[in-house]
Structures are given as structure tokens and as C-alpha cells.
Structure 1
Amino acid sequence: MQLPGPKHLFALCAIAALSPTFSSVAAAGIQPSGHGNNNPQGQADGYVPFLKRLRDSTIGWMFGSQKPALAWTDATTVHSRYRDEIVVRFNVTNPEEEAALSRAALQLLLDVWSFNSDYVDIRIHKDDVSGLQSLLPKSLEPTILIPDLATAIWATYPSKTPQKQAKGQKLDGTDDIFFREYQPLLVIENWMRLLQTLFPAFTEITSIGKSYEGRDIWAFRVGQRSADEKGPRKTILITGGLHGREWISTSTTSYLLWSMVSAFGKDQMVTKLLQHFDIVFVPVLNPDGYEYTWQKDRLWRKSRQQTKMRFCRGLDLDHAFGYEWESAQHRTDPCSESYGGDQPFQAVEASVLADWAKAQTEKDVRFLGFLDLHSYSQQILFPYAYSCSVDPPNRENLEELAVGLSKAIRLSSGESYTVASACEGAVAGVYSDSDAYPRLEAGGGAAIDWFYHELKARYSYQIKLRDTGSYGFLLPKENIIPTGEEMLNALKYFGDFLLGNNGIESFPARGSRPDDKKDLKRRDFTG
């Protein structure tokens, strides 16, 4: 990616100069109650529409014409790397089958793409399928999900020609440009800086630390605390990009960020949430791995940290956090995709996030919710990930909210997200904790467990986004906005639940009925 040229720098300067005017006019309609306001939509005398058009056209000018400088410049290079690789699916029905797959994955260092109670997906060279089958029970027969992996990979990179708006897509200005394609790291960083410049009254961008290779890890805070608010600021943390190849998690986190910023003062539910909570977005927790997926290897999962084995770089950030870290230690091979290090918080990026979060709690911040976005399989997972033999104290509330999030998504898009404990392997049950029946991926050192147990984030979830296997990590760009929209509805439900409304206010058509309000039991879910 080349640095912005003179026209882009000029555009940034122009926006920076205009931003105080834009912010003061827009903020006139979104101050907390008691500040006086006769213009709830912030459309003061026509200036905001003009500035909005200027903003949107400038963003299109800046980002719409930039293309990533890929090391892979043509499809031939991609096909050379992934020639004859496929993705296969096994339907696992009992713990013996899961144990056999787990042992085979360790022995052959297989790339397990996904596993749940319905299926296990594995990337493999087509010539190695018969060797894998020789290690498995005869009852396990693979079916091919992705027959040509190289072609599927190439299709996820931005096209060289402008894309037309898909029929029925909800696009408006900035997201029309930014969310038509997956975006490389530098574009995401510039985009966040631009948003903070445009909306300084209720946003803040901060580097929470450096990655192993020295890249900034950016956090974007959105919220507006009223002058009379007392006590620690209740905060929701949303992370994406723990695994480099899961591009949809980064795009969805960015979409939620943009939706909160652009809807503040316009959407009643969003405005209410941001007056009661700060929401902190970290779209790319693993910037080294994410950048590597653009420059070298689209399917790179881990960080880029050097390990004790020279030719096997990278740590799995979701097995690097300190709580019950040792529960994942049957994954001790640095070449494993699930390798979390030789000690807790060995992964630089996991350590940075934990140190920053702990420092925040010492600065009058209270983490109430944590949403860790991943792909794929359309699941909502709650703690604990490390073991099925221990239940979280508020498991009933965790499940209740998770089911509500699933319902919010289903009502939004028709997509089904299943709800489960994060401890469950391909076969649900206590077998996940048994040495005789090891699960496919040990759950120790998970981010959701650490935030739940150590920082007391009472509502901590890992959400695995679209799809259920047709594309896996190579979800087409046409899914960026629909996935973002369904998660936006889930986030509104999440916030409304925390406010004690049990999610009803996030569905106005239903919640506005007298019977719904009569039956509503207001409870404090923030304690």
C-alpha cells in the first residue's frame, strides 16, 4: 500500500479544518438531556447535509481509488501455493470419532477450520485424504466442501474494477465505499483516524500497544458521558482479527464501529447506548498476522512472533491468555495452528490487550461486556472455554442473553446462530475434559474466559460469524454488509439487555405493544 498522495493529504487537511464546524453542528442534536436542543436530528440549517456530502465524497476520493499493494499480484501465484488443496467435512457422531480426528490432526499437523456438534472441517491436500482416512474409523467419511481452494482464495481479494452496488444492499456514503471490499490494514487505520477527526466530540482513537513486529494495535472508543454520571464508566469491548485469516471478523467490527458513530443522535437505541456505555472497538488485534494474509499467505491464522522452532512462527492469540492457560497444553508443538506459547501471555498481542484492559480498570472503567468476533460456523459461545466440568456463576443469564442475541440475528436476516458453551468439542459433553477423548482444540487460555473471570466482564462471548462452511474463512465480500447488519441488531439487543429491558426496546414493533411492556420485568443485569 502506498502512502496517500498530495490530493489525499489535502483532503485530510480540509476535513480536519472542517471537523469542528461539523462536530459542533452535529453534536447540537445529540447532547445528553439538560443541554437544550430543538433539533433532535442534528440537521441545523442545512449545514450538516452539505458537510455529510463533502465528508462522503472525500472518503470515496481517499479510499475508493486506493488498491492494496499485494505481494501476490496475480492468480497464478495464489494457485501455485494452494494447488490441489481442498476443504473436507466430517460428520462426527461420537467421542471416539472426535478423539481419532484429534490425534490425526496432531500427528499430521492438520489445519482444522471449524468444529462443532454438527461437523468438523479440515483443509488438506487432496493427495493426503487417503492417508488421513487410514488413521480414522471407517465410519468417518469425508465430503468435499471447497474443491478448488486456490480459486476461492483469489476471489476474496479486492477486484481491480469498481464494484456495483448489490441489489437490496443498505449502503450510505462512507460504507458504500469502505464496506464493498475487504480492506487492508493501512486503509483501516487511516479510516479510523478520519472518523475520529470527523466526530471528536464522542470518539477517541488510541494505540493500546505494539505488536510483535512493531505495528500499532488501535482501539476506537465511542460514547458520551453525561456531566452528572457518577461511578466507573460501564464499557463494552468488541475485538476482531485475533486470527489473521478471519477477515469478516475485522470487517464486522469496523461495521459496528461505523454504525455506532454514524447513528449517534439519529437512532434512539444507539444514542441511548452510547450515553450509558462506552463501546471500545479493536478491529485488528493481530495486525502482523492480518498484514501477512494480504502480503504472503491468505490463510495465515496465528501471530508472526518467533517461537522456539525457527521455521514455525506465530502463536494462537486465543490460547495465550492467562486464565486456565495450562488446560491447552496438549498443543505444545509450535507448528500447531493452536499453539498458544510455552507460558501464559507469551503472545505479545494478548499481553498488550490484557495490560491495557487492566490499566483501564484503574482509570474508572468497568468492563461489563466482551464480544470477541471470529469466523466461522454461526455460533454464540459463552464461558468457560477451558472445561465443561465448571459452570460460570451466572450461566443462566449468559445463556438467556445468548439466546436473545441469536433471536435478534434471526429476526434481522433469517440466519441461524446456535448457542453453546465454548467448552464443547465436536461432541458435546464431559468428553471434552478427558485425556481418553481429547477435543479437537483445547480451550485453555481463551480471551473470553480471561475477561469473564479476571476482569469480571459478566457477559463475555465469542461469536463465530458467517458462514456454515460453504466458504469458511473465504466468505465473499457481498456478505460484509449483511453480516454487519445482523451483528448490529445483536449489539443493540446486547446493550438493551444490559440496560434492564431484556432486549425488548431493540425491537420497537414488538416492544411498543402494551402487553409487551406490561409483561416486562426490569432487572439490573449490570451488577
Structure 2
Amino acid sequence: MRVSMQLSLLLSLASSASLVSAIPQHDHQAYKFRPASHSVTADTDSAVDIQQSIHRTPSTWTRLRDSIVESVWGPPQRGRGCEIGTKNQAASRAPATLQARYGEDVVLRFTIKTQDQMKALIDASNVLFLDVWGTHDEWVDIRLSRDVIPSLLGLLPASLQTSHVPLIRDLAQTIYESYPNTSPSSSPSHPSAGTRRFTPSASTSKVSSQSARNVFFQDYQPLSVLLPWMRLLVSMFSSHATLISVGTTAEGRDIPALRIGVRPKNNSQVPPRRKTIVIAGGAHAREWISVSTVSYVAYSFITGYGKTRSITKLLEQFDYVFIPTMNPDGYAYTFSTDRLWRKNRQETSLSFCPGIDLDRSWGFEWNGNSTLSNPCSESYAGDQPFEAIEASHIASWARKEVADNNAHFVAFLDLHSYSQQILYPYGHSCGHLPANLENLEELGAGLAKAIRRSSRETYDVKAACRGIVAASGAKSDESSTLESTAGSALDYFYHDLDVRYSYQIKLRDRGSYGFLLPKEHIVPTGKEIFRATLTMGKFLMSPHILGEDGSEQHNWGNLDLEDDDDEDENDPVAPSTHETLLESQFALSSESDEQNEEIDYE
């Protein structure tokens, strides 16, 4: 009887429309930005729906409602993972420091259909100094503060005011979840110098047997872990791997690289020119997946030598130089201070806006005029070519390798994120066509096929200039770009260093996470690029591609680009005895601090 009366009271209260309309439905009240002339289409969101946390004292009605519900069904069960606002959830929330920096930021995706829309978005982005995350033929992702959304929409035509959707609503929380696991003694707060120590995820208690094989790749690793790991790796495989430095950063760090290859031991004659392939990542500091992927491919080649025919053949024919991060200063800064930092840490004319975009500072077709007066721009190219110290040093190293060490650079892979694209030269202009365009397109298609066979992921293949324009049928020379790509490493290696097979690969994903790709994607991304690297190597081994005369004519049909090693298909980093020892030593030695770590270079 008592229960029946309480239910009747509850239903009676709920039936009052005026009262129910005032009830807060949940703790996180949503608010929406709508353009003045709002229209709903099937292809776009009706509005940008952004969640905003509002903490308030429960009203009298709320307390009465909860009291009735609890008296009928009992208090809610805690610790089942289904309630909102529990202590466990509160403990996993982003700390105040992250909330203060990113708490009001979101990432929006705009669908671009016409050239006029692209131009309008360019102009609005420049006016508001927005952070453009990613671009594709049909969309542009932009990070901005919630309170800037009305201003942006006000600058856009009506067609763009409704052609956008939110990709990341809670940026602070997503950033917090992207950081590596901490040791049990670490502070759970946002990392800062002296307060948070990162260790590899070997400390994670629950990992699968497969994951346990490769503990280094179960999380994103900071520079203080990456450097000791590289040194330990070459100490275990010194027969074909060495640690070198390809330059120095603005803050005085070395730019470490792994040189892998097996050179002929015939000292009676001058060795022939050594064909060399460079695979680099981390030019943009926040693109962590590129650093992990370069490391993964390097590890797979080092540990695969002597175990698989394909890797053994490649290391006998080529030297591979793996540069996990071309921007160590910026990479370290993303762990200590700002997860979304892009540029290097070099001083500029404005003390409060440090940093130069490494991928806009190279000498070929440098054009920094558009950002010359704005060092705060994310794409600031410096005041002159090669002003970015890291780009200048890496270019000097490459030229010295050619002049003094008889190196012949035959391929260059520059890994970035995100959008899943394989881009070939040129980036600065679609009106400047590479001489071996057909070869670049065919090898690019081969790389995309290798990735698709490995993981079923689709990578688009196109010229770098088209990777950043709105494909609306406009002529190439009339297309507007959201950012200048002049002065890129891709164009410099291809044109000035004559590296005929140069590509920029934008890794996963297509925007669901952007630069904050979860750690679960590290190994799958590494595997698919590993497969693509094998395909490139087999392509370059053909005498039709790289003959002694430098001819680049080829017969693609005669090339077997599929790997014939079964062990390669299963697990490119399945551990041997040496690798198991490597992992155990890495787990014991990874507590060393970056500032106290001395790296012995070749």
C-alpha cells in the first residue's frame, strides 16, 4: 500500500508539464550554438551540440524526487560502472591544470563543397587565428574555444554555418586520457616538470600475451624513455644497428637516429655508393603516433634481420636511417607542458610566441611571407629559409652523407598525422609536376595496397598540393589552400637532394581522435607502415628502378611486391631470445631521467 501511494505521488508529480519542464534532466546540461538562419539537412548536424559541466545545488524538487525513487527502489548501486558522478569517475577526470588550458576547447569538422566555402573558411581562420588540425579534399578540422564558435559562424556563409559537426567535445579529458600510464608512485595530476615521471607500460598489470611481447609499444613513450630504449636496442644488435646524431636542437638536445644495414666486408676496394632510405617522424611535436610508428618499423627491421628473408635482403642492399623525432624539444614539451604543441621551441621575435614550424622551414620554395609578421602562427616558417635549427642541421647532415660518406639517398618517408594519406611531391604548387610522376603514383598505390592488405585501412594517394585543397572541381592552379606547404621536407628531399621516391604519409586516423589517437592504435599503425616499408624496399631492389645508370624506368608487372615470408605476416616483432632479454633490460632501466642520460653516438 505504501509503495503504491509513493508511486502514485511520483506519477502525479511527473504529469505536471510545467513542473517537469523545470527539472534538470542530468548533471551535464547541454547548450547549443545555432546560426541565426538555421536549417536542418540530412548531411549535416542541426547544430553544434557541446557539453558544458554545470555544478549546482540540487533543487527542492530534485531532492524530493530522489527521495521517492530511493524509497521505492532503494539507493543506486555504487561501483558498478553505470552511475554518473561516482568517486571513481571523479578520480579519472582531467585535473584542473588541463581544464584551465583546454577545458573550453572543442574540435569541429567543416564539410567543404565549393571553392567559395574554402576561401571563406581560410579568411575566417586567419582573422581568428584558429588552430587547423587536419585537412582533406572534403573536410577541414579546426580546434577553437566554445566562445569563439559564434564569431566563426558569423564570418562564414550560411552554407557553412550548418555544415559542421563536433569531433571532440571534451578536449581536456581526451588529452588527459592520451598521456601514458604512470608508475604507482606518480602524481595523478597533469604532468609537469618534477611532478610526473613516465614509465613504459610494462607496469600495466593486465596485458595480453601478445601485448606482453612488445611492452614498449603499448603506450606512447616520452623522450626520457625513447632515448635509453634506442641505446639499449643497438647494444643488443650491434652487428647491424648503430646510434647516430643527425643534428642538434634549439635547446641543445641531440637529434638521435638509428642507422640499420649490413655493409660488405671487402676492404680491398672502394665500397660502392650505399643506397640509403630515410624514415622520419615527429616534425610536428603533437603527432605522437608518427614517433611510435618510426620506432616500431625500426624495431621490426632490427629484430627481423637474420630471421626473415625479406628484411635480411633489404638490409644487405640498403642502409635505413630511422629518425623517430626530428623535433625532440617540441616532443618533450608536449609531455611536460602542452600536449598540442606543434612547432619547435626556438626563440622568435616575440618572446611569448616561440617556435618555428619545421615542415615550413626547408630551403626549397620557402615562402614564409604569409606568416612573416606573425610568429604566433602554428605554421610560422621563420624569417628566412632554414631558420629552424633542426631542419638546417638535418639538411647539413644529409648533404654531408652524400659528399663524405658516399651515400645515395633513394627514398624518404616523412610520417605525420592524421587523415590517412600518402602524398608525393610537390606540396608547394600543383603546377609543378615531378619528373617521375608515374613512378611515384604507382609506388604510392603499392604502399596503399600493402596497408589495405595488412589492416583493411584505406589510405588515399595524391600529390601533396592536393592533400590540402578542396576538391570541388576547381582547377589546380586556382585552388585555395588552408595553409601553405611551401618549404616542406618532402619537397626539399625530392628536389634539392634528388631523392626520387619521397613521400609524406599522414597516419591514422581520419579524424575521430585527430592528434590524440589512443594507444591501442600504436601497434596496428606500426604494422601497416611496416608492411608498406617492405613493399617499398622490394620495389627499389628491382634493377628496373635503381640501376647503376640511375634509370627510373620500370616494369611493375614483373615485380613481386607480396612478401613470401610467412613469419612476416604473423608478427613482425615476435620475440627471440635476444628480444626477450632486451624487453626485460628495458623494463629495469627505463627509470633513468632524461637530463642524466648520456647517449653514445657513432
State TM-score, norm by structure 2: 0.69
Q: Does 1:380 align with 2:422?
A: yes
Q: How does 1:244-263 map to 2 (within 5 A)?
A: 244-263=285-304
Q: Does 1:406 align with 2:444?
A: no
Q: Does 1:507 align with 2:507?
A: no
Partner of 1:485: 527
Q: Does 1:80 align with 2:100?
A: yes
2:362 to 321, 326, 340: 321
**3-state SS in 2 of match to 1:504:** coil
Q: Measure, in 2, the Cα distance between the counterparts of 1:381 and 1:447.
A: 12
Q: Which moved more, 1:424-433 or 1:300-309?
A: 424-433
Q: Does 1:495 align with 2:537?
A: yes
Cα offset, 1:171, TM superposition = 4.1
Q: Does 1:150 align with 2:206?
A: no
Q: How does 1:119-134 map to 2 (within 5 A)?
A: 119-134=139-154
Q: Measure, in 2, the Cα distance between the counterparts of 1:467 and 1:286.
A: 22
Q: Does 1:463 align with 2:488?
A: no
Partner of 1:102: 122
Contact 1:170 1:481 in 2 (8 A): no
Contact 2:308 2:565 in 1 (8 A): no
State TM-score, norm by structure 1: 0.79
Q: Measure, in 2, the Cα distance between the counterparts of 1:360 and 1:172.
A: 38
Q: Which amino acid aligns with 1:100?
A: A
Partner of 1:63: none
**3-state SS in 2 of match to 1:308:** coil
Bigger-Rg structure (1/2): 2
Q: Measure, in 1, the Cα distance between the counterparts of 2:288 and 2:409.
A: 26
Cα offset, 1:432, TM superposition = 5.9
Q: How does 1:308-457 map to 2 (within 5 A)?
A: 308-326=349-367, 328-332=368-372, 333-362=374-403, 363-424=405-466, 425-428=468-471, 433-434=477-478, 438-457=480-499
The structure-2 alpha-carbon separation of the partners of 1:414 and 1:305, relative to structure 1 and needing over 3 Å to count, comes to same
Partner of 1:235: 276
1:206 to 228, 244, 256: 244
Identity value in percent: 48
Q: Measure, in 1, the Cα distance between the counterparts of 2:320 and 2:440.
A: 19
Partner of 2:585: none
The structure-2 alpha-carbon separation of the partners of 1:192 and 1:200, relative to structure 1 and needing over 3 Å to count, comes to same
Specify every segment of 5 or more residues in structure 2 that has no aligned partner in the other structure, as ranges: 1-92, 185-202, 544-555, 567-602
Contact 2:431 2:476 in 1 (8 A): no
Cα offset, 1:126, TM superposition = 1.4
Q: Measure, in 2, the Cα distance between the counterparts of 1:401 and 1:129.
A: 42
Q: How does 1:154-173 map to 2 (within 5 A)?
A: 154-160=176-182, 162-163=203-204, 170-171=210-211, 173=213
Q: Which amino acid aligns with 2:121?
A: L
The structure-2 alpha-carbon separation of the partners of 1:445 and 1:177, relative to structure 1 and needing over 3 Å to count, comes to same
Cα offset, 1:431, TM superposition = 5.7
State the Cα deviation string for residues 419-466 of structure 1 (Å, max 9, x = none): 1100123314776654xx531011100101000001111100000000
Specify every segment of 5 or more residues in structure 1 that has no aligned partner in the other structure, as ranges: 1-72, 511-527
**3-state SS in 1 of match to 2:370:** coil
Q: Which moved more, 1:304-313 or 1:443-452?
A: 304-313
Cα offset, 1:159, TM superposition = 2.0
Q: Measure, in 2, the Cα distance between the counterparts of 1:185 and 1:240.
A: 13
State the Cα deviation string for residues 150-188 of structure 1 (Å, max 9, x = none): 010001111236435666x85464xx2211110010110
Q: Measure, in 2, the Cα distance between the counterparts of 1:82 and 1:172.
A: 34
State the Cα deviation string for residues 112-131 of structure 1 (Å, max 9, x = none): 00001021000011121111
State the Cα deviation string for residues 278-326 of structure 1 (Å, max 9, x = none): 0000101101110110010000000011111221110100000000002
Partner of 2:227: 189
Q: Which moved more, 1:153-162 or 1:476-485?
A: 153-162
Cα offset, 1:79, TM superposition = 1.7
Cα offset, 1:226, TM superposition = 2.0
Partner of 1:117: 137
Cα offset, 1:103, TM superposition = 1.4
Contact 2:310 2:563 in 1 (8 A): no
Contact 1:85 1:126 in 2 (8 A): yes
**3-state SS in 1 of match to 2:481:** coil
Partner of 2:580: none
Q: Measure, in 2, the Cα distance between the counterparts of 1:377 and 1:150.
A: 22
Q: Which amino acid aligns with 2:179?
A: Y
Contact 1:379 1:418 in 2 (8 A): yes
Q: Which amino acid aligns with 1:260?
A: F
Contact 1:312 1:335 in 2 (8 A): yes
Q: Measure, in 2, the Cα distance between the counterparts of 1:202 and 1:374.
A: 27
Cα offset, 1:235, TM superposition = 0.3
Q: Measure, in 2, the Cα distance between the counterparts of 1:80 and 1:432.
A: 42
**3-state SS in 1 of match to 2:284:** coil
Q: Measure, in 2, the Cα distance between the counterparts of 1:99 and 1:316.
A: 23
Contact 1:237 1:367 in 2 (8 A): yes
